[in-house]
Amino acid sequence: MSGSERQPPAGQVQLDSRPIFPTTDGNENIMEVDALSIRQSRDLEEKYKMDHQRRGVALIFNHEHFYWQLRLPDRRGTEADRRNLNRTLTDLGFEVRVYDDLKAKDVQKTIDEASKEDHSNADCFVCVFLSHGEDDHIYAYDDKIKIQTMTDMFRGDKCQSLVGKPKIFIIQACRGDQHDDAVIAHDATDSSESPDNWTEVDAATVYTLPAGADFIMCYSVAQGYYSHRCIVNGSWYIQDLCETLRDHGSSGEFTELLTVVNRKVSYRTVGRCKDINAIGKKQIPSFASMLTKKLYFHPKSKQII
């Protein structure tokens, strides 16, 4: 090394600023920092492959009535949620299967069979529960079922045809025993309800659960709070979720749409309710995303037969 060349002080970090040299094919030699920027930009645009032959299966477990020994109230208004979800998911291209008031063993059997199906030509999978909840369980007609037991059936080692594909679980159930108090915001608005459309609350608690890569858990309410359901129009969360999916589901990114749903539900306020402690209270949904890419439900091109 010549005496004119200087070495940096020990411990000093230098930027790698190697110049761009022409290559034999005429292209320029991109600096490493530029390559990193390009890779990061591509990461932000990474999307799930949603051009399979089928959109996928959507299971809806709707529970309105319960075995009398459970001492759980009927969930009036859930029929509206059932119809709303059936239409919305069908419009998005899903093969919707609806089940009403199944016993716990039948719910588990149905989910187990779905997990063993071949989903190779499907984009994704959806499972919806409309019920009461408690801790990390959801109620079927006669007993409660651990949620993680059901999500585990769709992990990569159990359901290989859904590896790397979105697995969406939507849970409409209460997640606690607290009411969310109203706070005045400068741009807040309240939705109006029909005079005959009373509000009820779904019972008990559901905790946020880890599920694994490419899962997204969508909850009607944040952990620790009541979830509200109108006896005529259905639950606040399902109403606003379906409306948002109908308006933007074919173009918007799914987690961004869930944020819109959060905002819509947060604008609502309990009006008429038999539980006087619930009057004037609010609700905010939540979701736990383990998705690894952006998720869109773009319309499928029609096949020419």
Which of the given ranges, 12-21, 216-225, 238-247, 269-278, has the highest pLDDT on average? 238-247
Predicted pLDDT of residue 38: 57
Predicted pLDDT of residue 36: 57
Q: What is the DSSP letter of 282?
A: B
The larger pLDDT score, comparing residue 80 to residue 44, is at 80
C-alpha span between 114 and 289 (Å, rounded): 22
Q: Any idea how long the chain is?
A: 305
Query: Is residue 29's pLDDT more than 60?
Result: no
Residue 28: count of CB within 10 angstroms of its CB:
10
Calculate the CA 38 to chain-centre distance. Answer: 30
The token duo for 70 is 């459970």
Predicted pLDDT of residue 77: 84
The larger pLDDT score, comparing residue 197 to residue 183, is at 197
Calculate the CA 219 to chain-centre distance. Answer: 7
pLDDT digits (tens, 9 = 90+) for 92-132: 999 999 999 999 999 999 999 999 999 999 999 999 999 98
Please identify every residue annotated as catalytic. 132, 174
Q: What b/e readout covers 230-261, taking b as 16+ CB neighbours within 10 angstroms? A: bbebbbbbbbbbbbbbeeebeebebeebbebb
pLDDT digits (tens, 9 = 90+) for 231-253: 667 888 999 999 999 999 999 99
The token duo for 286 is 């939540």
pLDDT digits (tens, 9 = 90+) for 256-294: 999 999 999 888 765 444 444 444 456 678 899 999 999
Q: Walk across the sheet containing 137-139 and list its strands.
A: 133-134, 137-139, 144-146
